[in-house]
Structure formats: C-alpha cells, structure tokens
Amino acid sequence: MNQLLKRKSKGDMWFDIVNYFMLTIVMLLVLFPLYFVLIASLSDPNLIYSGEVWFFPKGFTLDGYGRIFSDSSIWIGYANSILYAGLGTLIGVAVTVCAAYPLARKGLAGKSAIMWFLLISMFFSGGLIPTYLLIKDLHMLNTIWALVIPGAGGVFNVIIVRTFFQSTIPDEMWEAASIDGCSNTRFFWSIVLPLSKSVIAVMVLYHVVGFWNGFFDALIYLNDENKYPLQLVLRNILVQNQANSGMMIDVESYAAKMRVTELIKYGVIMVSSLPLLILYPFLQKYFVKGVMIGSIKG
Amino acid sequence: MVNSRTSELDHSTIKPNRKIWNQIKRDYELYLFLLPIIIIYLVFKYYPMYGIQIAFKDFSPSRGIWGSEWVGFKHFIDFFDSYNFWTIMTNTLTLSVLSLVFSFPAPIIIAIMLNQMLAKRYKKIVQTVIYAPHFISTVVLVGMLNVFLSPNSGIVNHIITLFGGDPIMFLADEGWFRPLYILSGVWQETGFATIIYLAALAGVNPELHEAAIMDGASKWKRVMHVDIPSILPTIVILLILALGNIMGIGFEKAFLMQNDLNYATSNIIPTYVYEIGIQKAQYSFSTAIGLFNSVVNIILIITVNRIAKKLTETSLW
C-alpha cells in the first residue's frame, strides 16, 4: 500500500507542487499583515509615513509602547477585561457544565423538552431593544453583571460539553456508582469533573477569548469609562482616532501628532492581541478539539 | 416493529405519572444542576420575547411594556414606507449574499489542499498560521484595516503609489465597503473554518482511496470523486446554517467600519436597529425592524432546510 502511495505519476507531482506553492502563498498572505503590525509598531513613525518600512523595522523605537503604557486608560481597560473575562468565564463555564451533565444522562424525564427550551432561543430571540429594556429594568446597566450573566450557558457550548459527557462517561459507570450508594452530586464532583478536564479547558478557552475580544455588550450596557473593557478603549484609539491626550503630551505640531497616532495604533494592536497570539499556538489543540466535538451531531 | 410500539404504549399507560414522579424525585439533584441555566434563559431569553410586543405598541417607559398602547402594524408599515427601506434591505442582502459566496467555498478548498499535504510538520505550521486571525478581535481587525488603508501612511496606498496609482480613500468610499468587509472576513475566518472540513476529510474511508489508486486515479481525480462526495453532507449542513443566517449578518464589524461617508452601503438592518433603538431611543420602531428581520430569517432557515432535505436527504432536523 505504501509503495502504491509513493509511486507518483507526473500529474500527481504537478498537483503536489502547485498545492504546496499555493498553500505557502495563502500562509504568507495571512501572516504578513500580522507581521507588519509588529515591525511597524517598532519603527520610526516618519519612516512608516513615507513608506520605507516593508519587511524589517526601520529606525527602531519603543516610543509607541512607552506612550501606550504611560496611559492609564489602557491599564484600566486591561484590568477591566481581566476582571470581566475571569468572572464571566467562571460563571459561564459553571452554568454550561452543570447544565450539560443532566442533559447527557439517559432517561432523565423531560430531557428533550429542556433541550428544545434551550434550542428555540437560537432561532428566535427578543432582539436588541427588549433585552436592553430588561437589563435596564433590572438595574443592571453599567454593572459587570450585564456582561457576564445574560449570555451564560450558550446552547452551542452546552451541546459540546453534553456530547463529550455522552461519549466519555458511560452510563454503566453511574449505575455502578449509584449501587454503591453514590449520589448524583457526589458522582458529578468526584468522577465526572475529574474525567472532563479537557472539555472544561476547551470551555475556559472559548469563554476567555469571547470575553477578551467582545465589545458589543460593553458598548450597549456600560457608560462609565472607568468600566470600559480593553476593546472599547481600543475602539476609541483605533477606529475613532481618539488617542488620549496623555499619550500625546510632548507632541506639538499637527503632522507629528498624526504620525505618533499611527505608531500608537500599531502598538495597541500588538498590546491587546499579543496575550492571545502568544498563548494560542500552545492552546491550539484544545480549540481544534472543541470545534471537533462541537461538529459531532448532538 | 408494530408490536414493540404497542407494548411500549401499554407500558406507559399501565404505570402513569407515578413513574415519572419517582424518577424526578430520584434525580432531583440533576434538576438542580439545570436550574441556573433555566432561570437565565427564562429571564434573559424568554422574557425579552414577551417584550417583543412593544413592536406592536407605542412604548413609553413610564407606562411599561404591558401598559403601553396597542398600535397594530403601524411601526412595520412606517418602516416599509420609509425612504430608506429599500436601501437597507438591499445593503443587508447584498452584503450577506456576497459574503457567503466568497467566504463559504474558501475553507473547503483550503481544507482539501491541506489534506493533500504529506509533510506533517509543514502542514502543522500552515495550519497554526492560518487559524491565528480568528483570535483577533473585531475591533483590532477594523483597526488594522484603518492603519493599512490609511491614505497617507497605509502600506496598501504605499504599494499603489509605488506602481504609479493615486492613493485611495478606502474606508471613506462607499464603493469599497463591501469588498473590504468581505475580504477581511475571508482573511480572518477561512483558516479556522477549515477545521470542520479537515475533520470530515479525516473520516473519509481510506479504502475508497486505495480502490481509486488501484484503478489508476490521479490525485486530482481522487479529490473530485472521493474527497468531495464524502464531505458533501458536512458541506450541506454548514451551508444550511449559513443560508439560514443570511439576515443575521454580524453587527459588530459593519458598525465599526461604518462612517458618514460610506453610510450609503454600510447601513444594514442590525446597525439601523442599533442606531434607531439605542442612539435615538425609538424603542418600538427599532423592535419592529428587529422582529421583521428575525421573522424573515426563520422563514429562510425553514425553507432552506426543507429544500436541502428534498435534494440531498441531509438536513438540520
């Protein structure tokens, strides 16, 4: 069999050459923008402006990072994002895992009704305004709770975890444990959870990334700038061009200001994305695992 | 078959509710596990559905959802009659249909190509790189568009001027909104979307390939006649999901990319709902537009699912 695979016709050889070539191009097209942000963030803004930075940083400077880190709004954003991601992940994962376990059990009365109860919300929702009015009536506006509670227990995540339980924790295990007098809660704590570390890791990652990158809920529900997560701070700098005056202290002329603003933009892109981009190659297999379990029809 | 069905029926009629009650009593802990999610869904998902009625009312905060006056379909009619109704509909549909056309096939092609790669190490590197943009936030993505496409300092315009062209104000040009939206989406999500197809390709029966090789099929032929037919069910499922979500095109990126100068093409239903509802506080009108959008969406997904079931015998439900 191996020999058969190795014996290549001319057409197959061309196929491979074209394939490798095109995938390499695709990879470079994806990589270059990310790489360029990195080198631009380390280059002299005047040289970026005149279009002399292409493949390597020119006029190396850490000025952009210096300005970014001396600005309090970035630090506040960072701290808020860590808080929201931490608490949100804790709540989200707990709700998801607790909900998924009973739904994975055979013979739970009303199981499919509960599943439908969750699924319907995927196809039909109250929409933006009714949800906003509810949050307002509950006095959750401008609080962390508006960001971490309403979205907890997303259906897709519940399905992923449920599928994992169904395929790794056989019912016989529970039957054996219950004969020995084990309660459901005890079984969940001392057997199900320890066996599910990998799917819990997947859930933690999904939630952390979601909270770290999310800005829509914060945009709608928060109005106090001291509560803004990092993404909202970034939006002001990157999209609305409102670099904080603190970052511009010593810049006089308008032209120089424009240039420093650009440098700061490259810098904040790095500062905000770096934690995830550095971690991600190590965590990649968990993400892939998550997508795979999720794709098994539940 | 018939017999077993009737005996099952008998079984449940002989022992009525008693059995279910015992089960619930026995498993009460499991129901407690479910309690948090049920409460969250009741409050934050189902109660807003009750709030949808304000689409048919003139909502005033002081009178509340229940106390406000019914006005029937007034807000819907106002929306259909409004001068920008057709622009918004066209913008929404054009943007989502074009996104789908360009972004749906890309991961399938890349996954098939990756699957043909025999050098494991290199394959892993390519995968790691092309998945990466998925982890970049929408804000950062739009920020990258801003810096790359800046008319004065952006690298794209540097390249254009290098070849003798004039700088283009990409983000301030309504004609560029759609290409930029779609291309940046392809850049960001294609890699990650390949994972599902790669999983499907890994599940292709190797015997089919062996048989094809025996018959002298080239790699190209095996891709066309073994790989693609084998992953067709996956493709259909994902296509149904994507088609069903045509009206549910994301708010975030369009909102971040939107400015006064590209408003003519960037004004889509979700951004309009936000603008009218949150910024201008016209709660009822905005809810009506949102409701219209989700009703169209549900009709779409049901229709597409039905068609797919007939044509390919694959469906979501």
A247 has a pLDDT exceeding 80: no
Residue whose C-alpha is closest to residue B20's, from A100, A110, A106: A110
Q: Does B140 touch chain A (CB under 8 A)?
A: yes
Q: Does B107 touch chain A (CB under 8 A)?
A: no
Bigger pLDDT: B239 or A80?
A80
pLDDT tens figures, B147-171: 999 888 889 999 998 898 888 899 8
> A264 vs A67, A163, B77, CA distance in Å?
7, 45, 48
Cβ pair A134:B51 closer than 8 A: yes
Cβ pair A105:B20 closer than 8 A: no
For position B8, what pLDDT does the model report?
A: 45
For the whole model, what pTM was predicted?
0.89
For position B3, what pLDDT does the model report?
A: 45
A288: closest CA of chain B, how far (Å) = 7
Of all residues in chain B, the percent with pLDDT exceeding 90 is: 56
Confidence grade of residue B233 (pLDDT, cut at 50, 70, 90): confident
A54: closest CA of chain B, how far (Å) = 8
How far apart are the C-alpha atoms of A99 and A124, rounded to whole Å?
A: 21
Query: From A294, which residue of chain B is nearest by alpha-carbon distance?
Result: B196
Cβ pair B251:A216 closer than 8 A: yes
CA A216 to mean position of chain CA atoms: 14
Average pLDDT value for residue range B37-43: 96
Average pLDDT value for residue range A182-194: 91
Question: How is residue B128 written in tokens?
Answer: 């790691």
For position A1, what pLDDT does the model report?
A: 47
Q: Which residues pair with B57 in a beta bridge?
A: B70
Under DSSP, the state recorded for A107 is T
Confirm if B229 and B49 have CB atoms less than 8 A apart.
no
Residues of B in contact with A114 (CB under 8 A): 34, 38
B35: closest CA of chain A, how far (Å) = 8
- B189-226 burial by CB neighbour count: b if 16+ within 10 A, else e? bbbbbbbbbbbbbeebeeeebeebbeeebbbeebbeeb
Query: From A46, which residue of chain B is nearest by alpha-carbon distance?
Result: B153
Cβ pair A128:B277 closer than 8 A: yes
Confirm if A92 and A145 have CB atoms less than 8 A apart.
no
The set of residues, in sequence order, having a beta carbon less than 8 Å from that of A167 and lying 6+ positions away, is A296
pLDDT tens figures, A69-103: 888 889 999 999 999 999 999 999 999 999 999 99
B57 has a pLDDT exceeding 70: yes
Preferred mutation among B54, B57, B137 to probe A, highest tally of A CBs within 10 A:
B137
For position A6, what pLDDT does the model report?
A: 57
Number of CB pairs < 8 Å for A and B? Answer: 271
Apex B21 CA angle, B15 and B27, nearest 5 = 125
For position B10, what pLDDT does the model report?
A: 47
pLDDT tens figures, A86-145: 999 999 999 999 999 999 988 888 899 999 999 888 878 888 999 999 999 999 999 999
B226 has a pLDDT exceeding 80: yes
How far apart are the C-alpha atoms of B303 and A259, rounded to whole Å?
A: 53
Query: From A136, which residue of chain B is nearest by alpha-carbon distance?
Result: B61
How far apart are the C-alpha atoms of B169 and B151, rounded to whole Å?
A: 6
For position A158, what pLDDT does the model report?
A: 94
Nearest-by-Cβ selection for A19 from B31, B113, B291:
B113
For position A245, what pLDDT does the model report?
A: 67
Average pLDDT value for residue range B241-265: 86
Helix-helix angle A111-123:B28-41, to 10 degrees: 20
Cβ pair A185:B214 closer than 8 A: no
Q: Which three-class secondary structure state does DSSP give residue A126?
A: coil
pLDDT tens figures, B76-94: 999 999 999 999 999 999 9
Q: Does B290 touch chain A (CB under 8 A)?
A: yes
Average pLDDT value for residue range B163-180: 91
A100: closest CA of chain B, how far (Å) = 8
B281: left (phi over 0), alpha (psi -120 to 50) or beta: left
pLDDT tens figures, A271-280: 999 888 888 8
B144 has a pLDDT exceeding 60: yes
Of all residues in chain A, the percent with pLDDT exceeding 70 is: 95
Apex B112 CA angle, B111 and B116, nearest 5 = 115
B267 has a pLDDT exceeding 60: yes
pLDDT tens figures, B121-133: 999 999 999 999 9
For position B1, what pLDDT does the model report?
A: 37
**Partner A, chain B 200-229, Cβ-Cβ below 8 Å:** 200, 210, 213-214, 218-220
CA A81 to mean position of chain CA atoms: 12
Bigger pLDDT: B67 or A148?
A148
Average pLDDT value for residue range B273-277: 92
Confidence grade of residue B16 (pLDDT, cut at 50, 70, 90): low
Cβ pair A213:B65 closer than 8 A: no
Cβ pair B287:A273 closer than 8 A: no
Lowest mean pLDDT among A45-54, A205-214, B16-25: B16-25
Q: Outline where DSSP puts E strands in chain B.
A: 57-58, 69-70
Cβ pair A128:B148 closer than 8 A: no
For position A134, what pLDDT does the model report?
A: 94
Q: Does B315 touch chain A (CB under 8 A)?
A: no
Preferred mutation among A19, A101, A121, A129 to probe B, highest tally of B CBs within 10 A:
A129
For position A5, what pLDDT does the model report?
A: 53
B288 has a pLDDT exceeding 60: yes
Nearest-by-Cβ selection for A51 from B24, B135, B158:
B158
Q: Which three-class secondary structure state does DSSP give residue B117?
A: coil
Cβ pair A19:B44 closer than 8 A: no
Amino acid at B81: D
Query: From A183, which residue of chain B is nearest by alpha-carbon distance?
Result: B29
For position B4, what pLDDT does the model report?
A: 44
Cβ pair A30:B191 closer than 8 A: yes
